[in-house]
């Protein structure tokens, strides 16, 4: 017969250090099975050994991260304290179809402070009159017993409804995120364009104060231009007039001088017949 270790290693789907889930349902375990090889799986979170003929849990090693354990349809009568010792983080324990008979045996699971779901359906203890009431009183964090809550509502239905509500909340959150983060067509971009356009217009078109300053400067430049033009015109006219007067005066003096020279020449050339005395007349 195969040992538990060989069965375990044959069903491992990941490296031992990374293994979080082991399902060994319907495997034929040897009598007084040794569960110690499970200690090589430090990160194990889920273990299922249903329909394996288990009678004792004494060799169960400490599994610090195990949160869900299923040992359904075995031959377990006692020894539930080994589960409490080995699985301190356990939240979901299923022992349906076993042979647990007393509430005293069930009370050995009380040290499981985080236990939220306990399934003992099909065990003789579940037929006792005060069974449900005492279990909910003994386990402070227990939410579901035999897959029913305190009010008798089915665990599967409640979990399904909770999952649907969570999905709806996630969808609403995603929708709100899209509305908040993603600008709709026509939003955001036109405002940016308007800002950019305003900046360009402002750059091309001066402000009122700048316009007034430019107009005053233009008027001043025009006035200076007119003054310079008039001054240049007057200066040029006066200069030309003085040049003309000087030229006329020079020409007049030249003509007068020529006339005087001509008269003097004539006077020198004209004979003095009346006053002249020829030699021999005397």
The CATH number of residue 108's host domain is 3.80.10.10
> What pLDDT, on a 0 to 100 scale, did the predictor assign at position 197?
43
pLDDT band at 56 (very low <50, low <70, confident <90, very high): very high
**Pick the residue with more confidence: 164 or 88?**
88
pLDDT tens-place string over residues 122-136? 999 999 989 999 999
Please check whether residues 16 and 100 belong to one and the same domain. yes
Q: What average pLDDT does this structure show over 205-227? A: 58
Domain assignment of residue 198, yes or no: yes
Q: How far apart are CA 227 and CA 219, in angstroms?
A: 12
Q: Based on the domain organization, do 105 and 205 belong to the same domain? A: no
- Measured between alpha carbons, how far is 90 from 102 in angstroms, rounded to an integer? 21
Same domain as 8, residue 127: yes
Q: Does a structural domain hold residue 261? A: no
Q: What pLDDT is attached to residue 239?
A: 45
- As a whole number, the mean pLDDT across the chain is 77
Task: Please determine, for residue 248, whether its predicted confidence score (pLDDT) is greater than 60.
Answer: no
Query: Residues 22, 147: one domain?
Result: yes
What's residue 114's pLDDT? 95
The model's pLDDT over 185-200, given as tens digits with 9 standing for 90+, comes to 665 544 544 444 444 4
Lowest mean pLDDT among 87-96, 128-137, 262-271: 262-271
By three-state DSSP, how is residue 47 classified?
A: strand
Number of domains in the chain: 2
Are 136 and 21 contained in the same domain?
yes
- The pLDDT tens digits for 138-182 are 998 999 999 999 888 887 777 777 777 788 888 888 888 766 555
- Beta-carbon contacts of 270 under 8 Å, excluding residues fewer than 6 positions away, are none
In the chain, DSSP assigns E strands to 21-23, 46-48, 68-70, 92-94, 117-119, 144-145
The parent domain of residue 128 ranges over: 4-151
End position of a domain, from candidates 220, 236, 268:
220
- Distance of alpha carbon 185 from alpha carbon 183, whole angstroms: 7
Indicate whether 18 belongs to any domain: yes
Number of residues in the chain: 282
Calculate what percentage of the chain has a pLDDT beyond 70: 62
Mean pLDDT within 34-43: 94
CA-CA-CA-CA dihedral for 265, 269, 273, 278, to nearest 10: 130
Rounded alpha-carbon distances, angstroms, from residue 102 to 35, 41, 43, 99, 230: 25, 33, 33, 10, 128
- Residue where a domain terminates, one of 151, 179, 199: 151
Q: 122: burial class by Cβ within 10 Å (0-12, 13-18, 19+)? A: middle
Domain identity same for 201 and 144? no
Residues 128, 24, single domain; the answer is yes
The pLDDT, as a whole number, for residue 206 is 54
Verify that 192 and 82 share a domain, yes or no.
Answer: no
- The larger pLDDT score, comparing residue 182 to residue 118, is at 118
Which residue is listed with tokens 């090889």? 37
pLDDT of residue 13: 76
Asked if 12 and 143 sit in the same domain, the reply is yes
35/109 same-domain check: yes
Q: Does any domain span residue 54?
A: yes
Is residue 147 in some structural domain?
yes
Question: Which of the two residues, 76 and 209, has the higher pLDDT score?
Answer: 76
Q: What is the mean pLDDT of residues 35-62?
A: 95
For position 198, what pLDDT does the model report? 42
Is the model more confident about 158 or about 277?
Answer: 158
> What pLDDT does 252 receive?
56
Mean pLDDT is lowest, of 53-62, 152-161, 171-180, 266-275, for 266-275
């Amino acid at each position: 017969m195969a040992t538990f270790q060989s069965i375990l290693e044959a069903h491992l789907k990941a490296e031992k250090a990374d293994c979080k889930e082991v399902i060994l349902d319907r495997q034929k375990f040897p009598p007084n099975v040794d569960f110690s090889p499970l200690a090589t799986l430090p990160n194990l979170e889920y273990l299922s050994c249903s329909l394996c003929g288990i009678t004792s849990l004494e060799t169960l090693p400490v599994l610090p991260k195990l949160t869900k354990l299923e040992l359904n349809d075995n031959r377990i009568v006692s020894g539930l304290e080994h589960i409490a010792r080995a699985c301190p983080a356990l939240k979901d324990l299923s022992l349906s179809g076993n042979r647990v008979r007393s509430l005293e045996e069930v009370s050995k699971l009380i040290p499981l402070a985080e236990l939220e779901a306990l399934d003992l359906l099909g065990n003789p203890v579940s037929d006792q009159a005060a069974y449900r009431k005492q279990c909910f009183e003994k386990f402070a964090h227990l939410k579901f017993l035999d897959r029913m809550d305190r009010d008798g509502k089915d665990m599967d239905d409640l979990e399904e409804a909770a999952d649907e509500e969570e999905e709806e909340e996630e969808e609403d959150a995603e929708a709100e995120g899209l509305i908040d983060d993603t600008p709709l067509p026509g939003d955001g971009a036109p405002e940016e364009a308007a800002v950019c356009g305003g900046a360009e217009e402002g750059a091309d078109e001066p402000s009122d104060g700048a316009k007034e300053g430019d107009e005053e400067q233009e008027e001043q430049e025009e006035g200076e231009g007119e003054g310079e033009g008039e001054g240049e015109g007057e200066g040029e006219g006066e200069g030309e007039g003085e040049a003309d007067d000087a030229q006329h005066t020079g020409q007049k003096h030249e003509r007068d001088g020529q006339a005087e020279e001509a008269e003097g020449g004539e006077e020198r050339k004209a004979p003095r017949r009346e006053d002249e005395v020829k030699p021999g007349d005397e």
